């Protein structure tokens, strides 16, 4: 601490002299103190002099300068891998017992000289060394991100990383540190030797299949040192084996992909077990099987395409819609159709109504059932009868003439999204043949494409949508869309853009609006380390969101055990975090009581295993060595932990840092100065009063 002022310190002498002069004049002129003992008068005058000197000194604006020096110990960060792959060795018991004891001992030893912080990581990063080696994934980059966030502004001396180098999520350990310049000392765990192991690495499959159809599987098998063996690949469901295929293993490091076809024989979420038979002497059998879940649907949405006569547009529509596995397409001439529309989700009327074709009964049935419909106009369409349908478009034609109209995209279209490349593709597509005339479009219509006739951009619709009550209507005002499909092939080598346009048109029209008062939304597929979450909405009779009633849910597993939950209110809806569940198939039933009526929503979901830690059992010590070399650290074996304190002591990076902090404070703001002045003046006043002077 030191004292500084805005003026030279010798001004303090002037303050003392001025205070002495004032004190002498006060005391020696006061005749009432003549009989006061000299020692008392001297003491009282000294108190007055001290008080006046201090007051005068404060006029110099004195400042108290304080310099505080702090020493920060180096911080040693310890991160230990807690994933399952560390136990894929023969000495897993030694790892759990000996290594963990040595690590705890090292932590205590380092804590005597350094500040030590410990973490364990795998799927997530947690503080401490409470290890069970049960994490299903390994993410080293997440560890370094967490450490950098917490300690980037601290004196970090080194990071100790204990792992086997096997990473299956996040960035590679070599790039995990980012730009953080801190030495990393790695502890190489696991076994690098290649041992006999048969691994079912991956099963590629679709999540949806349809009843009675065969769905494909692609099984990736890796085999190490199994060159003299052959194995059985089996697919089973509910304990029943569906198929068996013999696979021959050749070579020290063998990889093969096996295609399979499995028939869907039951609806709902189905659990299939794919397994390769065990090989004698392999290091682990936990990676020999995998469970997959397929949602088998009872049937596709059915779409009926009715036409006046055979036309290439019909084939183009059928092929594009059928490219989506969710749809089943039925085509028929209107004059030959004898079925009922109730079994279809969408009907396409191609150039209908037309002369000589009586479809009034079908049109009335479609309107009565609010069946979504797509009308394609052309040269054979009888426009007068079409106008009588009252669908939202009236066309006044002249002498049956046709225009050639190209597509002009409506930039404000919002019913569904098309890729920008798709929109550009159809802006350059060949023109459609559209009825020539005056188009009067209802205000509620939403055009996707307008007509561009030559160089003239019009507001006449080419491809538009509108609602007739609760019924969705689509309208293509021209024939020749088969040319769009060919143009797509010519430009891109495929018909992806055309299929996207037709598929999204069919999807928008065929999907019915949900008018229920109670809705529950969730995924139907989770991994075993994911939290099961549900969202719910409750509506009143005016379809306004409300959150007053209580929403409950019951989840049941395959054994019939039930788990009750209650949703919590979140904004204008409800949310439920049910936590994690074991691998299996689950059903749920949510309910809410509204206006005396109970509404129920049911569904199912699956929890699939995470087996990535079992796929690779070979430790990667090379990546750990490279990480240590790149950052200025060293790689140690598990039995060399005791060498780390000496390595840290010899490292120039691991050193204490001294910080200086300076502060300037106005001396007059110090409270103890006030109390001293009060003491001096109060004591002097008391003594003077006692002697009869004021």
Reference 142, options 165, 97, 173; nearest CA is: 173
What pLDDT sits at residue 516? 83
**Six token digits for residue 147:** 């450490």
How far is 405 from 431, CA to CA, in rounded Å? 5
**Bridge partners (DSSP) listed for residue 606:** 525, 585
pLDDT digits (tens, 9 = 90+) for 342-380: 989 999 999 999 988 899 999 999 999 999 999 999 999
Instruction: Strand 208-210: give its sheet, edge to edge.
Output: 208-210, 289-297, 268-276, 230-237, 240-248
Q: Report yes or no: 525 and 608 within 8 Å, Cβ to Cβ.
A: yes
3-state secondary structure at position 330: strand
What pLDDT sits at residue 564? 96
Q: In 341-387, at which residue ranges do the beta strands (DSSP E only) sit?
A: 346-350, 373-376
What pLDDT sits at residue 48? 80
**Six token digits for residue 678:** 């009060």
The list of the chain residues with pLDDT below 70 reads 1, 28-36, 38, 90-92, 228, 299, 513-514, 613-615, 691-694
Nearest 5°: the CA angle 317, 319, 325 is 115
3-state secondary structure at position 391: coil
Q: What are phi and psi of 624, to 5 degrees?
A: -70, -40
What pLDDT sits at residue 598? 93
Q: What are phi and psi of 626, to 5 degrees?
A: -65, -40
What pLDDT sits at residue 490? 92
pTM greater than 0.85 (yes/no) = no
**Torsion over CA of 221, 225, 229 and 232, rounded to 10 degrees?**
-20
Q: What are phi and psi of 10, to 5 degrees?
A: -70, -10
CA atoms within 13 A on the CB side of 108: 6
CA atoms within 13 A on the CB side of 553: 29
What pLDDT sits at residue 459? 92
How far is 434 from 631, CA to CA, in rounded Å? 70
Rg (the chain; Cα; Å): 42
H helix runs in 87-194, sequence order: 92-94, 100-111, 140-151, 173-176
3-state secondary structure at position 209: strand
How far is 230 from 258, CA to CA, in rounded Å? 14
Buried b / exposed e along 216-225 (16+ C-beta atoms within 10 A): ebebebbbbb
**Domains of the chain (ranges, CATH numbers):** 2-68+664-690 (no CATH), 74-193+618-650 (3.40.50.410), 197-297 (2.60.40.10), 301-505 (3.40.50.880), 518-608 (2.60.40.1220)
How far is 139 from 163, CA to CA, in rounded Å? 11
What pLDDT sits at residue 301? 85
H helix runs in 290-359, sequence order: 312-322
How far is 459 from 473, CA to CA, in rounded Å? 19
């Amino acid at each position: 601490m030191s004292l500084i002022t805005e003026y030279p310190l010798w001004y303090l002498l002037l303050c003392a002299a001025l205070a002495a002069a004032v004190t002498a004049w006060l005391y020696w002129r006061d005749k009432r103190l003549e009989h006061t003992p000299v020692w008392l008068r001297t003491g009282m005058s000294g108190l007055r002099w001290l008080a006046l000197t201090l007051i005068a000194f404060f006029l110099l604006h004195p400042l108290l300068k304080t310099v505080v020096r702090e020493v920060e110990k180096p911080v040693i960060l310890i991160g230990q891998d807690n994933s399952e792959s560390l136990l894929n060795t023969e000495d897993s018991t030694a790892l759990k017992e000996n290594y963990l004891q040595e690590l705890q001992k090292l932590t205590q030893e380092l804590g005597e000289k350094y500040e030590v912080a410990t973490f364990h990581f795998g799927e997530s990063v947690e503080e401490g060394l409470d290890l069970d080696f049960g994490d299903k994934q390994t993410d080293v980059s997440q560890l370094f991100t967490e450490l950098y966030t917490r300690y980037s502004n601290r004196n970090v001396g080194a990071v100790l990383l204990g792992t086997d180098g096997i990473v299956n999520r996040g960035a590679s350990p070599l790039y995990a540190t980012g730009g953080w310049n801190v030495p990393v000392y790695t502890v190489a765990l696991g076994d690098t030797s290649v041992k006999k192991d048969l691994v079912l690495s991956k099963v590629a499959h679709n999540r949806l299949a349809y009843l009675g159809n065969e769905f494909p599987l692609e099984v990736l098998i890796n085999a190490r040192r199994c060159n003299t063996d052959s194995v059985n690949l089996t697919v089973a469901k509910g304990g029943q084996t569906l198929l068996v295929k013999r696979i021959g293993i050749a070579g020290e490091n063998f990889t093969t992909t096996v295609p399979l076809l499995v028939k869907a024989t039951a609806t709902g979420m189905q659990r299939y077990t794919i397994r390769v038979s065990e090989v004698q002497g392999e290091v682990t059998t936990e990676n020999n099987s995998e469970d997959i879940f397929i949602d088998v649907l009872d049937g596709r949405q059915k779409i009926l395409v009715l036409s006046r006569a055979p036309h290439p547009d019909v084939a183009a529509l059928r092929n594009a819609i059928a490219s989506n596995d969710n749809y089943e397409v039925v085509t028929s001439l209107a004059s030959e159709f004898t079925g009922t529309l109730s079994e279809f989700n969408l009907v396409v009327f191609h150039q209908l109504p037309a002369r000589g074709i009586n479809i009034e009964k079908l049109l009335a049935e479609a309107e009565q059932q609010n069946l979504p419909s797509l009308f394609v106009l052309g040269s054979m369409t009888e426009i007068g009868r079409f106008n009588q349908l009252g669908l939202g478009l009236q066309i006044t034609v002249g002498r049956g003439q046709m225009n050639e109209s190209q597509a002009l995209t409506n930039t404000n279209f919002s019913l569904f999204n098309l890729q920008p490349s798709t929109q550009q593709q159809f802006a350059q597509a060949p023109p459609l043949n559209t009825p020539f005339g005056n188009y009067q479009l209802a205000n509620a219509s939403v055009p996707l494409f307008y007509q561009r006739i030559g160089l003239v951009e019009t507001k006449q619709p080419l491809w538009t949508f509108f609602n007739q009550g609760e019924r969705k209507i689509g309208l293509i005002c021209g024939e020749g869309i088969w040319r769009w499909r060919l143009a797509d092939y010519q430009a891109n080598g495929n018909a992806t853009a055309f299929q996207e346009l037709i598929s999204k048109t069919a999807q928008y029209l065929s999907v019915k609006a949900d008018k229920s008062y109670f809705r529950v939304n969730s995924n139907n597929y989770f991994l075993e380390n994911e939290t099961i979450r549900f969202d719910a909405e409750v509506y009143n009779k005016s379809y306004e969101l409300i959150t007053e009633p209580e929403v409950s849910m019951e989840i049941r597993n395959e054994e019939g055990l039930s788990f009750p939950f209650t949703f919590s209110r979140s904004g204008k809806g409800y949310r439920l975090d049910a936590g994690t569940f074991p691998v299996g198939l689950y059903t749920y039933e949510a309910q809410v009581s509204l206006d005396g009526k109970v509404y129920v929503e049911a569904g199912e979901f699956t929890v699939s295993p995470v087996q990535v830690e079992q796929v690779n059992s070979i430790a990667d010590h090379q990546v750990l060595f490279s990480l240590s070399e790149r950052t200025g650290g060293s790689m140690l074996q598990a039995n060399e932990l005791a060498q780390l304190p000496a390595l840290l002591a010899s490292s120039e990076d691991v050193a204490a840092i001294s910080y200086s902090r300076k502060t300037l404070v106005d001396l007059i703001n110090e409270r103890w100065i006030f109390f001293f002045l009060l003491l001096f003046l109060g004591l002097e006043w008391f003594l003077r009063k006692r002697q009869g002077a004021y």
